[in-house]
């Protein structure tokens, strides 16, 4: 009995095997160890003769095994519940079987795209520092305004909620407070606070708010500089917003293993972060060697005679070394026999050596030079295949994650199609984008998943509420400021908003259209390959009205989906007044048009339908024209209240939320009522 106990204990005791034991165990367990190599990164197998192409292909047996595992795994996930929709009986296992499809294997996803190792510990109200996605060179004071599964919605302190954006909890773009000071980066303070006067300690104490703990951040302590890249070095880079352009660019920032690419003399909104493996960057002279056109900086005297040698001398800069490009961020090791010509392993382990998978192929080293081989290397293509299923963020409505399919691929991108939707909503995304995840990711992390829409869903969505087929009224074209909509004007999927990049002015440029941040903008891309337009909403200058006031039937559904909050911000409170029936102004209040129009001459002859078409600037001009209301112009401009939003304001909104004094508030509110009365009178006359 004692011997049995000892043996059982020995079997359950953790021990660290030696390197030789581990290798022997791997060879014994994995028969592929005798037949070929295994890529540590993607787990793909291949013969020795194709060792450096192991990442390019897969075996059908593996996919089938993965499919069986996936179906077993997904059966235990909770039922997906759509965001703001009714609970439906839907699960990945049944859907895959019904469609006779396969889910994209987990091994095709990067670590940050796959299932997280720990729970999201961020909470609403926490403060942190992070990159502005529309100004990638800027680090800003951010607060967490919403948490959903492994995703968080970030808010620029003291700015409108229209500019809120979503990131994953493990995003490399967010950092704990104090990170900028520690690393020498400039931190943009909240609106209205000067940089030199901002202090995290006093800001947290004064506002009684909490900083996000450092332990919640994925990589707050690492400072790894990409091999060979330094700030100020020049390179040639693809403009992601206009992929036909390859432009003169500069490395302007370095953080961990990533660097910021900036296009010389162009607006910083075109900047983007990447690492050394990015397929969008090339060494100086790459365009000339490959017969491509290099886009020179704007204002360059002679674009046809551009010379890198002269340009580098004029700017006093250095080119990024060729060896720094296409470097491998993850080292793949393989066991190779010194007797490789036999294609077999010798029994003696002493003849084996460690081999880098992107070294010059053993059978080609006599005919290839190292420099030629390195320059020809490309980032290994992804292995996603058409018809594979996954979960993807809806770029038109970033609060949502939908069931999606891969409908097309190229070397480094995949085209996403949302199941049940029409093709016009498809879009291209990089295969390493943080917005795509394996099937089951939402259920695993606790994020609502939008299942495929059916013909019945199409009918239900068009029967009242938003008229766009398939839309349930969730989200808004103006971003997170409004949680829902009920008309095509505010719908992110409507035809009138289909080709709109943004309806918001730049967060940093106020109301002036086209002011940008002081640099020229690129002309629209003429390349036919760019017909798949970007579907995000960059902060350009575009003006669109809010949706029409809801009908009584729509109000009931909106109330059920409105999220209650103890501390309502200005935008949330305004949204509540729009969609809550008890705060809607009563249209039956008796008005004396002639009497009031004499007191407010600027109101005479204007109907509500005309006011509804006003832009933010036109609303502020009207407010400025009201007696004693000039001080309120700034409030309306800062909150970007356009014509339709103006008509939806109540007296309570004006006094308690906009903090307008009672006298001016009464004048403004009476103007709104008179606009509506004039509209009713005009309708009665007809």
Regarding whether 211 and 238 lie in a shared domain, the answer is: no
Regarding whether 280 and 210 lie in a shared domain, the answer is: no
Question: Is residue 265, in this structure, part of any structural domain at all?
Answer: yes
Regarding whether 607 and 680 lie in a shared domain, the answer is: yes
Whether pLDDT at 60 is above 70: no
Q: What is the pTM of this model?
A: 0.61
Regarding whether 239 and 311 lie in a shared domain, the answer is: yes
Question: Is residue 653, in this structure, part of any structural domain at all?
Answer: yes
- For the ranges 54-58, 103-107, 634-638, 652-656, which has the lowest average pLDDT? 54-58
Q: What's the domain range around 301? A: 234-324
Q: Which residue, of 181, 216, 251, is where some domain finishes?
A: 216
Regarding whether 238 and 169 lie in a shared domain, the answer is: no
User: Do 406 and 122 touch, CB atoms closer than 8 A?
Assistant: no
Question: Is residue 172, in this structure, part of any structural domain at all?
Answer: yes
Q: Coil, strand or helix: which one is 203? A: helix
- For the ranges 30-39, 164-173, 457-466, 623-632, which has the lowest average pLDDT? 30-39
* pLDDT at 489 (0 to 100): 81
Helix (H) or strand (E) holding 638: helix 633-638
Regarding whether 248 and 191 lie in a shared domain, the answer is: no
Strand duo 187-188 + 135-148: pairing: parallel
Interval 630-653 mean pLDDT: 86
Q: Which residue has the higher pLDDT, 224 or 436?
A: 436
Percent of the chain with pLDDT over 90: 37
The crossing angle, in degrees rounded to 10, of helices 552-561 and 570-579 is: 140
Question: Is residue 610, in this structure, part of any structural domain at all?
Answer: yes
DSSP letter for 290, please: H
Regarding whether 253 and 200 lie in a shared domain, the answer is: no
* pLDDT at 459 (0 to 100): 64
Question: Is residue 454, in this structure, part of any structural domain at all?
Answer: no
Question: Is residue 521, in this structure, part of any structural domain at all?
Answer: no
Total domains present in the chain: 3
Regarding whether 151 and 206 lie in a shared domain, the answer is: yes
Regarding whether 240 and 163 lie in a shared domain, the answer is: no
Question: Is residue 100, in this structure, part of any structural domain at all?
Answer: no
- DSSP codes joined into one string, 164-229: -EEEETT-TTEE-TTHHHHHTPPEEPSTT--GGG--HHHHHHHHT--BPPGGGSSSSS--PPPTT-
Regarding whether 681 and 592 lie in a shared domain, the answer is: yes
Q: Which residue, of 167, 189, 216, is where some domain finishes?
A: 216
Question: Is residue 317, in this structure, part of any structural domain at all?
Answer: yes
* pLDDT at 586 (0 to 100): 39
Regarding whether 241 and 212 lie in a shared domain, the answer is: no
Regarding whether 238 and 203 lie in a shared domain, the answer is: no
User: Do 346 and 354 touch, CB atoms closer than 8 A?
Assistant: no
CA distance 72 to 77: 10
Q: How many helices (H) and strands (E) does the chain have?
A: 21, 21
Q: Which residue, of 216, 248, 280, is where some domain finishes?
A: 216
* pLDDT at 272 (0 to 100): 97
Whether pLDDT at 105 is above 90: yes
């Amino acid at each position: 009995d004692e011997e049995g106990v000892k043996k059982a204990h020995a079997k359950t005791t953790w021990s660290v095997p030696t390197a030789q034991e581990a290798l022997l165990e791997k060879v014994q367990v994995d028969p592929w160890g005798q037949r070929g190599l295994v890529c540590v990164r993607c787990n793909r197998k291949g013969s020795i003769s194709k060792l450096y192409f192991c990442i390019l292909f897969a075996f059908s047996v593996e996919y089938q095994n993965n499919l069986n595992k996936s179906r077993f795994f997904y059966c235990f996930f909770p039922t997906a519940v759509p965001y703001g929709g009714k609970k439906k009986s839907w699960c990945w296992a049944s859907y895959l079987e019904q469609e006779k499809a396969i889910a994209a294997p987990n091994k095709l996803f990067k670590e940050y795209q796959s299932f997280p190792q720990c729970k999201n510990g961020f909470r609403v109200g926490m403060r942190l520092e992070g990159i502005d996605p529309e100004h990638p060179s800027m680090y800003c004071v951010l607060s967490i305004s919403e948490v959903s599964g492994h995703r968080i919605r970030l808010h620029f302190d003291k700015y409108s909620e229209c500019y809120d954006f979503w990131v994953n909890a493990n995003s490399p773009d967010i950092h704990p407070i104090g990170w900028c000071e520690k690393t020498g980066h400039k931190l943009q303070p909240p609106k209205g606070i000067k940089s030199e006067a901002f202090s995290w300690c006093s800001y947290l104490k004064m506002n009684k708010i909490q900083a996000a703990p450092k332990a919640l951040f994925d990589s707050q302590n690492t400072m790894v500089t990409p091999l060979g890249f330094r700030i100020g070095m020049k390179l040639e880079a693809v403009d992601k917003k206009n992929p036909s352009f390859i432009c003169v660019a500069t490395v302007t920032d370095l953080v961990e293993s990533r660097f910021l690419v900036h296009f010389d003399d162009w607006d910083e909104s075109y900047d983007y972060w990447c690492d050394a493996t990015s397929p969008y960057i090339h060494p100086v002279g790459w365009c000339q060697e490959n017969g491509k056109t290099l886009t020179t900086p704007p204002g360059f005297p002679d674009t046809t005679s551009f010379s890198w040698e002269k340009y580098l001398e004029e700017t006093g800069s250095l080119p990024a070394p060729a060896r720094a490009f296409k470097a491998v961020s993850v080292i793949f090791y393989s066991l190779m026999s010194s007797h490789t010509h036999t294609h077999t392993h010798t029994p003696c382990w002493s003849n084996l050596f460690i081999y880098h998978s992107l070294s010059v192929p053993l059978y080609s080293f006599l005919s290839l030079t190292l420099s030629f081989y390195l320059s020809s290397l490309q980032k290994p293509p992804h292995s996603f295949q058409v018809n594979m299923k996954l979960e993807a963020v809806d770029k038109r409505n970033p609060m949502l994650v939908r069931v999606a399919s891969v409908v097309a691929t190229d070397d480094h991108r995949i085209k996403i199609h949302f199941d049940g939707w029409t093709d016009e909503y498809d879009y291209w995304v990089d295969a390493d984008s943080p917005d795509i995840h394996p099937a089951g990711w939402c259920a695993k992390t606790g994020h609502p998943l939008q299942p495929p829409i059916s013909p019945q869903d199409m009918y239900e969505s068009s029967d009242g509420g938003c008229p766009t087929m398939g839309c349930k009224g969730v989200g808004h074209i103006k971003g997170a400021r409004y949680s829902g909509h009920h008309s095509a004007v505010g719908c992110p999927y409507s035809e009138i908003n289909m080709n709109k990049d943004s309806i918001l002015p730049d967060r940093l440029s106020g109301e002036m259209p086209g002011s940008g941040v002081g640099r020229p903008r690129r002309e629209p891309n003429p390349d036919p390959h760019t017909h798949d337009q970007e579907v995000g909403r960059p902060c350009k200058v575009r003006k669109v009205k809010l949706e029409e006031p809801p009908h009584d039937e729509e109000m009931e559904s909106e109330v059920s989906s409105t999220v209650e909050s103890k501390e309502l911000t200005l935008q949330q409170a305004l949204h509540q007044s729009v969609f809550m029936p008890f705060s809607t102004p009563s249209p039956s209040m008796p008005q004396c048009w002639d009497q009031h129009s004499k007191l407010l001459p600027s109101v005479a002859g204007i109907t509500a339908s005309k006011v509804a078409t006003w832009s933010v600037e036109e609303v502020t001009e009207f407010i400025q024209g009201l007696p004693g209301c000039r001080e309120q112009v700034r409030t309306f401009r800062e909150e970007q209240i356009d014509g339709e939003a103006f008509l939806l304001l109540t007296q309570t909104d004006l006094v308690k939320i906009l903090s307008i004094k009672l006298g001016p508030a009464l004048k403004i509110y009476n103007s709104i009522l008179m606009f509506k009365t004039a509209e009713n009178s005009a309708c009665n006359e007809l």
